[in-house]
Chains A and B, each alone.
Chain A
Amino acid sequence: MIKVNNLKKKFGDLEVLKDINIQINEKEVVVVIGPSGSGKSTFLRCLNNLEEITSGDVYINDINLSGHKVNINEIRADVGMVFQQFNLFPHKTVLENITLAPIKVRKKTKQEAEEKAYKLLEKVGLVNKADAYPDSLSGGQKQRIAIARALAMDPKIMLFDEPTSALDPEMVGEVLSVMKDLAREGMTMVVVTHEMGFAREVGDRVVFMDEGYIIEEASPVTLFTSPKHERTTAFLSKVL
């Protein structure tokens, strides 16, 4: 479903991703962990071309993102993304936030889009907020709306970029629980997070990144209990 070969990303002279190779299968939940500055968010953002890659290849469903005739908007429509800072559209209601892209990009009718939106709002437990503006929501509610907004496009893959890092501690649970439901339903997910509990419980595979490389990847149990690399051990000893 996702294939990454020799991915490199430079910001000016700074090489953030040095050589990333990974394959992610359908319905797999991959959790990416690592110290800050390790390149995990940049890696995630390369998967939908929010960061232009410097060299290497990223394939989404066998389509090369840097191919010449690729319509990146079509690919992005199939790859949902949830951001640390939610990035809801403040000038639109919750319902409009969710229905905008389905109507404008997927060319759904307003009615179809709204029906779907209400289903998703039910799923994230916020039907009563349909007509509210983002400013009036708590952080946890905003993030659940952001997830619903991404899901409204019927994505095949969901990318989560530290979805709970900007939340007050008491709101982390509500967001993680929505993500757990999603994983259970078989969504292909790539999650950058510091929530080790989530990684252990939901992840099919945990990827440890440091200094622009994937140092180690394994099932959560293996990685958390018997990491092979010193750097992984050192990192885990700090966060667990």
Chain B
Amino acid sequence: MNFFESITSIIQKHSGAFLQASVTTISITAISLVIATIIGLVFAFFKVSNITFLKKLADFYIFIVRGLPLIVLIMFLYYGISSVIVLNDFTAGAIALGIHSGAYLAEIFRGAIQSIDKGQTEAARSLGMSSSLTMRSIILPQAFKRAIPALGNQFIIGLKDSSLVAYIAVTELFSRALYASAENYMPFETYLVVGLYYLALVFIFTLILNKIEKRLDVGSVKTGVFKGSVIQK
């Protein structure tokens, strides 16, 4: 069997399983990113709050998560937590991935929030708006927009990192590749095919993110309607 025949045979034999596993990869990524976004926002608020305890708590969380290899975190949560509460592999995996990305998202959100000019807060507060209303209607919409490129990056990293949950028996794309290559003794060709699947997934992800980025890009320069109108004295 030459190289192309091997590739064709792998695709013929495994494409169904790979496709199904891709769906698992996408769903575990999506769920983990929702968890990560919530965690990230909460800890970003902690970090910009005036309460020292909350700040320290956020620092501690970020220190731990950034300091541990993701695979260690996944194994720890799977074996550690599941001895207390029963979690299925998918849930444990999604939570571990979420906790991991959450730490990075927290820093991204914090940076974005702090990058918004202080004058925005002052203007809102001077109008009698409460600090939470100011955060919700003035700071976050602007910060979120500013965070989009970095968020996109982190989301793509999240998608690729999801391959590590193969080690806790989630049947996602990478675990399928492990099975397949053990079965067909063609690891090189198998991982090549799976690599293409990941590339395709990331490509789709990127397209979606670009679309969101474009859609959210309102309010920056919306002069079209009034172009050429005279400056009034």
A interface residues, Cβ below 8 angstroms from B: 48, 50, 73-81, 83, 85, 87-92, 100-101, 104-105, 125-126, 128-129, 131-133, 135-136, 138, 140-141, 146, 149-150, 153, 173-174
Contacts and interface: CB of A to CB of B under 8 A. Distances in A.
A83 B119 contact: yes
20 contacts: A73-B128, A78-B128, A80-B126, A87-B120, A89-B120, A89-B124, A90-B219, A91-B141, A100-B127, A101-B124, A101-B128, A101-B129, A105-B128, A125-B232, A128-B232, A131-B225, A135-B223, A150-B127, A153-B127, A173-B233
A136 B223 CA distance: 5
A91 B219 contact: yes
Nearest to A75: B128
Contacts of A91: 141-142, 145, 218-219
B117 interface: yes
A90 B142 CA distance: 8
Contacts of B123: 81, 83, 87-89, 146
Contacts of B233: 125, 173-174
A116 to B, nearest CB: 14
B169 interface: no
A133 to B, nearest CB: 4
Interface string B191-227: 0000000000000000000000000001111110110
Interface in B128-155: 128-130, 133, 137-138, 141-142, 145
Contact of B231 (A87, A133, A138): A138
Given A89-B120, A101-B127, A132 B231 contact: no
Contacts of B133: 104-105
A105 B229 contact: no
B226 A128 contact: yes
Contacts of B124: 89, 101
Given A132-B222, A132-B226, A76 B137 contact: no
B128 A153 contact: yes
Nearest to B216: A91
Task: Please tell me the size bucket of the interface on B.
Answer: 20 to 34
B221 A135 contact: yes
A33 B50 CA distance: 34
Pick the most buried of B123, B137, B141: most chain A CB atoms within 10 A of its CB. B123
In the A-B complex, the 8 residue pairs with the closest CB atoms = A77-B128, A136-B223, A87-B123, A101-B127, A87-B119, A81-B126, A91-B219, A133-B222
Nearest to B226: A132
A53 to B, nearest CB: 16
Interface of B: 117, 119-120, 122-130, 133, 137-138, 141-142, 145, 218-223, 225-226, 229, 231-233
A135 B220 contact: yes
Pick the most buried of B122, B127, B145, B225: most chain A CB atoms within 10 A of its CB. B127
Contacts of B127: 76-77, 80, 100-101, 105, 149-150, 153
A91 B120 CA distance: 11
A143 to B, nearest CB: 12
Given A73-B128, A136-B222, A87 B122 contact: yes
A182 B232 CA distance: 18
Nearest to A73: B128
A74 B128 contact: yes
Contacts of B122: 50, 81, 83, 87
A48 B123 CA distance: 11
Nearest to A50: B122
B141 A73 contact: no
B145 A132 contact: no
Contacts of B128: 73-78, 101, 105, 153
Contact of A73 (B129, B142, B218, B222): B129
Contacts of B142: 90-91
Contact of A76 (B120, B126, B219): B126
Contacts of B117: 85, 87
Nearest to A174: B233
Contacts of A83: 119, 122-123
B221 to A, nearest CB: 5
A90 B222 CA distance: 10
B11 to A, nearest CB: 47
Given A50-B125, A153-B127, A135 B137 contact: no
Nearest to A101: B127
